[in-house]
Copies of this chain bind each other. A is one copy, B any other.
């Protein structure tokens, strides 16, 4: 979820000054249009302490006509609020049609704090999240635009800011002590990861650099507002990251490699491990689902072969996901994947998977915007059911550079043996690289969850990739078998 929000991105002062006027004008204009259209907007701002939630809210007030903005924070709870059902406090301050409400925290913050204080069970936290989702659906069905921003900081930056803040406490500032003292960064993040997975529709804002934060946040808000004003059905919130100064995949270190000797040694060792671990999993009835996505020619097939040779053939199957059959087309797109979920103890390897819905089907227009957007939460729910059933789920993205891909394509065409592997479609896909890049970024942000994170594999060097894949599976199996 937070991958894109932890990239090292910054905007220079000059660039900021260049881009800001237009972004501010867009924001101001769209806000006015929504007002005239009588659309209520609820902007929920949550995130890591120190990320600048307060700063952003102050700026938004400055940049829009603040007279019609209702700012709401929930750091104080009144007697009166405690004496009512929980959601009373939110209902009474909801923005009316044409109004904009900026909510600082709210129902998420409250539920996470409760969970962190040890007052509620995980089931209660899940119930609270179901209630939050229900509340938002109720409002959205009535025409309200709900924009949820998560202002993110990686741990290191968070700690740095908190330390600095502690040195400059302003005595009268009631917000200075808003650091969460008794709980660690990890605990907060773990709960929010779950909250974000269970409720959906969040946009991630990278706050390492405050200029980037401001620009990204405005653009995300503008994109969502534009969506609400558009006449065509658009996703309930715009899933794309508004600014794309860098991609998650760019953070993959493609220089990693192994020489032939290292490869042979390590491969043998980790294949042996995998063999034993899958047998142990079989005896314990723990199933494994491994899925491969990645660029064409990234080496999915050869990685899968190194896995399958290590696992007893009687306990594993490989499912190649090609164009759906007639029968599959006549069902919900998840149906064809549910079919092959392994029996307890067995292993299923998906060569491409349900993520086609949010990649090829999105890019090629086979799925409408509302369909592929809905798929993120359908997929998270599906994977949640697998993990709830103790399935070990490992998701790989095999990454190579565009240059490496071109080399491999050309090599394939030159080889009698490999020519069948390359089709016109592969070349066409290369032309749509930008659309795929966007779709992949969104996919990684929306489906890299607490229970089912993505593993990005640097696959420029095939040796390294193959070993890394098997090692990762072994680690995940070890953890599950402990």
Contacts and interface: CB of A to CB of B under 8 A. Distances in A.
Interface of A: 38, 40, 80, 82-88, 91-92, 94, 96-99, 121, 123-124, 126-127, 130-131, 134, 138-139, 141-142, 144, 285, 327, 330-335, 338-339, 341, 343-345, 374, 378, 381, 385-386, 388-389, 391
Contact of A127 (B123, B139, B344, B389): B123
Contacts of A285: 83
A332 B94 CA distance: 9
A344 B86 contact: no
Contacts of A327: 96
A71 B453 CA distance: 38
27 contacts: A38-B330, A80-B343, A83-B343, A83-B344, A83-B345, A84-B343, A85-B389, A86-B389, A87-B338, A87-B385, A91-B335, A91-B338, A91-B339, A92-B338, A96-B330, A97-B331, A99-B330, A121-B123, A123-B124, A127-B127, A127-B130, A130-B130, A134-B381, A138-B334, A138-B378, A138-B381, A144-B332
Contacts of A86: 385, 389
Contacts of A126: 127
Contacts of A138: 332, 334, 378, 381
Given A123-B124, A374-B141, A97 B330 contact: yes
Nearest to A82: B344
Contacts of A131: 385
Residue of A91, A134, A388 ringed by the most chain B CB atoms within 10 A? A91
A477 to B, nearest CB: 18
Contacts of A121: 123
Contacts of A345: 83
A91 B343 contact: no
A383 B80 CA distance: 20
A257 to B, nearest CB: 38
A25 to B, nearest CB: 27
